[in-house]
Amino acid sequence: MSREIDPQKYQKHYSESSFWKKLGKYAAAAGKGIVEKALQLYYVIRDSDAPTSAKAIAIGALGYFILPFDVIPDFIPAVGYTDDLAAIATSLYSLAKYITPEIKEKAAQKLHEWFGRNQPDGQSDTLNS
C-alpha cells in the first residue's frame, strides 16, 4: 500500500455499537485473522491500564475498519479487507506492549464463540449467535 493511513482521521467513525455491528455482519467475510486482531484493539480500548494515546490509536484503526468505503471498499471480493488489515496490523505493531495475555485471551474467547474451534474462516454457524 503506497499511502499511510492516519488513525486520527478515522477516530470520529468509531463507536462501540458500530464496531460490533460491523463485526457481526462481516466477520465471516473478513476472516478470523482480521476479526481476532480487531478484537484485540477493541480490548485495548476497554483496558483501564492502557494510556489514552494507545486507546486513540486503537480507536482510529477501528474507525477505519468500520468505514465500508475506504481506500479499498470492503465489498470487493478477496481484497476488500486488505487495507483494513494493514491499518489494524500497523496499529497492533505500535501497541504491542499493550496487547496483554489477558487481552489476547478475551479476543480468543470471543473468536471461539463466533467461529468455533478448529474451523476454517467462515465455516461456523455460531457466528451470529
Evaluate whether residue 41 is within a structural domain: yes
Share of the chain above pLDDT 90, in %: 35
Evaluate whether residue 64 is within a structural domain: yes
Evaluate whether residue 126 is within a structural domain: no
Query: CB-hemisphere CA count at 13 Å for 22?
Result: 26
Reported for 112-120, long-range contacts at CB under 8 A and 24+ positions apart, including other chains, are 114/27, 114/35, 115/27, 115/32, 115/35
- Model pLDDT, residue 123: 40
Q: Which residues of 50-64 are buried (b: 16+ CB within 10 A; e: fewer)?
A: beeebbebbbbbbbb
Domain that holds residue 31: 19-115
Q: pTM higher than 0.85, yes or no?
A: no
Q: Is the pLDDT of residue 14 over 70?
A: yes
Evaluate whether residue 66 is within a structural domain: yes
Residue at grid coordinates 467462515? 122
Evaluate whether residue 61 is within a structural domain: yes
Evaluate whether residue 35 is within a structural domain: yes
32-61 residue pLDDT tens: 888 899 999 999 999 999 999 999 999 998
Domains held by the chain: number: 1
